[in-house]
Amino acid sequence: MDIIPKGLKVKNPLQSTYHTDCADSLCHTLSKKLQNHLINILYSKQGKIKNELSKLDTLIKNQASAQTSSWLDFTKTRQAIYSTHFASLQKKKDTKLSKLLHATRGHNCVSLNPPSNIVNLSKYTLSPAEEYVLSRGLSFCPSTRMNMIQFCGDLESYFRHLRLKEYFQQTSEQHTNPKRPSYQDDKKKDSGWTPPEGRNNRLDFCIECYHRHARAEIVEKQHHLPHNLSRAEHNAIHSLRNNSDIIIKKADKGGAVIIMNRSEYEQEVTRQLSNTTFYKPLPSDPTEGYQKKLQHLLKKLPEKAQEQIRTDTPLEPRPGVFYLLPKIHKPGNPGRSIISGMAP
C-alpha cells in the first residue's frame, strides 16, 4: 500500500521556482526511503529487546531458587502485560491507518457507507464512485486540462473590450461635431474591428503585463495542476452527466445533493407553471420587443448616458431560466421555484 504519513513526506524546497513532475517523483521516492529506513530502525530495536528478554528468561530459569509455580505466575503476568500493550498499540495503528485511508479515499474509493449529504429520491442506484463525487457538493471543481485555444481567444476578447472602452471614451470626450451620426461608432463596436495599439501607453503597458502574467502563472502552472479525481470518478461524472433519466439539484435547505427521477421533476414543474395565479403563458418570447423599445428610449437620453447604458447592457439578452429546488424537509418533496435572470 503506497501510503506515506504526513510527517514523513518530503516537500520540494524549490517548489516556487522548480516545480516539475520529476522533482515531485524524487521527493516521493525520498519519502518512501525515509519511511523504510525508520521501519528498519524500529525492527532493529525490536530485535534487541527480544534478545534482552531472552537472556532474562534464561537467567531466571537457571536460578536454583526459582520454583515452578512462581515461574508460571511470572510468565502469565508477563503475557497479560504484553497482550494489554499489544492491543493498545494495535488500536493506535488501526486508527492512524484509517485516517490515512480516509485522506486518500478519493483515489481508492474505500468508503463503505454512503455519504450523509446525498438524498437519492430516484430509482437509479449510485455506484461508490458516483456517491463520492456527489458528496463533494455541486460547487466542487474537478481539475481539467486547459483548452489553450479557448483561453487565448477569451484573453484577446477581453483585451479588445478594454481597447474599445478606451477608444469610445476618448472619442466621446473629444467629439465636437453634434451632427455626426452615432451609428458609425456602433457599427465599429458590433463588428470585429479592434482599435490600434499606441493610443494609450498606460493601457498598452497594462495589457502587456497582464498577458505576460497569464502566460507565466496560468499557462505554465496548468501543466502541473494536481489531479483531484481518480479515473473512476471522472468516469462517474461522465455517466451522471449523460444519464437523462435523473435530475441532480441542491436541496432548498441544508445543502444536500438531491437525485430525482426526471419524470417526477418535470411533473412538479408542470404543476407549478399551470397555476395561472402566478404564471401567464405567452404566445412568443417578448425579449426582442423589449430590446427594441430600450433602444428607442436610449435615443432620447444624452450621449454619455447612452454610452454607459450600452456598455453595461448585454448585447444578446435572454429570458430567465426556471428551475426547482426540492424541499426534502416537507412531505411530498415539493419544489421551490427559482427564476435565474443572470445575463449571459
Helix/strand/coil (H, E, C) string of 271-298? HHHCCCCCCCCCCCCCHHHHHHHHHHHH
Helix (H) or strand (E) holding 242: none
101: number of Cβ within 10 Å: 14
Q: What is the pLDDT of residues 273-330, one digit of tens each?
A: 999 999 998 998 888 888 888 888 888 888 888 877 777 777 677 888 899 999 988 8
**pLDDT score for 64:** 55
Q: Nine-digit cell at 61?
A: 530459569
**pLDDT score for 179:** 46
**pLDDT score for 263:** 93
More reliable by pLDDT, 154 or 16: 154
CA 277 to chain centre: 40
Q: CA-CA distance, 337 to 272, in Å (whole number)?
A: 8
**pLDDT score for 183:** 42
Give the DSSP letter of residue 192: S
Q: What is the pLDDT of residues 96-114, one digit of tens each?
A: 766 655 554 444 444 445 5
Furthest CA-CA distance within the chain? 126
Average of pLDDT values for 158-182?
67
**Whats the size of the chain, residue-wise?**
344
Helix (H) or strand (E) holding 315: none
Closest to 310 (Cα-Cα) out of 161, 159, 153, 158? 161
Please, which residues have CB within 8 angstroms of residue 106's CB and are 6 or more apart in sequence?
132, 228, 229, 230, 233
More reliable by pLDDT, 225 or 287: 287
**pLDDT score for 100:** 58
Q: CA-CA distance, 215 to 15, in Å (whole number)?
A: 18
C-beta separation of 322 from 339 below 8 A: yes
More reliable by pLDDT, 57 or 237: 237
Closest to 193 (Cα-Cα) out of 174, 211, 169, 167? 167
* pLDDT value at 185 more than 60: no
Q: CA-CA distance, 288 to 311, in Å (whole number)?
A: 18
End-to-end CA distance of the chain: 48
C-beta separation of 344 from 314 below 8 A: yes
pTM, full prediction: 0.49
* pLDDT value at 44 more than 90: no
Q: CA-CA distance, 14 to 222, in Å (whole number)?
A: 18
Delimit the domains of the chain by residue range: 6-117
C-beta separation of 119 from 258 below 8 A: yes
* pLDDT value at 335 more than 80: yes
**pLDDT score for 248:** 94
* pLDDT value at 344 more than 90: no
* pLDDT value at 246 more than 90: yes
